[in-house]
Amino acid sequence: MALGIRKQVLTVLMQGAAVPVIGGLCVRLASALRGPYKDKKYLANLTCNPYISPKAQIWAKDLEIGPQCFVDDYVTIYAHPDGGRIVLGEGVHLYRGTIVEVGAGGSVVIGPHTHIQSNCNLKGFLGNLHIGANVQMAPGCGFSPYEHKFEDTSRPIREQGITTRGDIVIEDDVWLGLGVYVLDGVRIGKGAVIGAGSVVTRDIPAYAIAAGVPAKVIRYRGRRAVEA
């Protein structure tokens, strides 16, 4: 199929994605006409409609998905009955194996043009997870705005309920390297960079580069020396 015609066909199919009853079929056909994995990102930019893979699993009553979002194969978006809202801003990308899950009144809000690579785990339980705009998240990152209670040694941890030190906030334009974990009550400031494999247990200032377990500031962007 000539390139121009193929684009027109895909555009019509993606326009059809929002039409009740036939929407699912339109998306399946559009998917079949593209290559695998990130080749399907193209479909998210053809119209205002988001591209939601037929292989994604979505079960959430209070869910907003903005225009031009990309929800890849095997992404799970799940709200327990007591979960709060889930918001994907315009142009958010969620890649395969990522799980977004809310319960116990918690919410997950992701700002515009934030890209979340494969196998990330985004939870909103008791506390909320707020991720700003233009955040770049490498594969395998995890966020837990709650912890299990565990002080009582006479009962299984499973029965002791959960607690939180507060919401997790990732401000705009943060880059999180491979396999970063962020614990409850932490705020990562605008433009910060977090090194691969870090566990972030305390707030990180704006434009800092932090790394390690626990993550410590090693320097600031654009400056060579570490500032205390």
CB of residue 217 vs ligand COA: minimum separation in angstroms? 10
**Contacts (CB under 6 A) with ligand COA, residues 194-223:** 195-198, 209, 211-212, 218-219
Closer CB to ligand COA, 10 or 209, in the complex: 209
* Contact code string over 117-146 relative to ligand COA, x by CB under 6 A: ---------------------x--------
Rg from Cα positions in the chain: 19
* Contact code string over 167-186 relative to ligand COA, x by CB under 6 A: ----------xx--------
Q: Does 103 bind ligand COA (CB under 6 A)?
A: no
Residue type, 194: I
Tokens 């691969």, located at residue: 196
**Catalytic status, residue 130:** no
The CA distance from 178 to 102, in Å, is 23
Cα 31-121-35 angle, rounded to 5 deg:
15
The pairing of beta strand 216-220 with beta strand 208-211: antiparallel
The CA distance from 96 to 98, in Å, is 6
CB of residue 179 vs ligand COA: minimum separation in angstroms? 8
φ, ψ (nearest 5 deg) of residue 41: -55, -35
User: Which residues belong to the active site?
Assistant: 148
Q: State the residues that interact with ligand COA by CB under 6 A.
A: 138, 177-178, 193, 195-198, 209, 211-212, 218-219
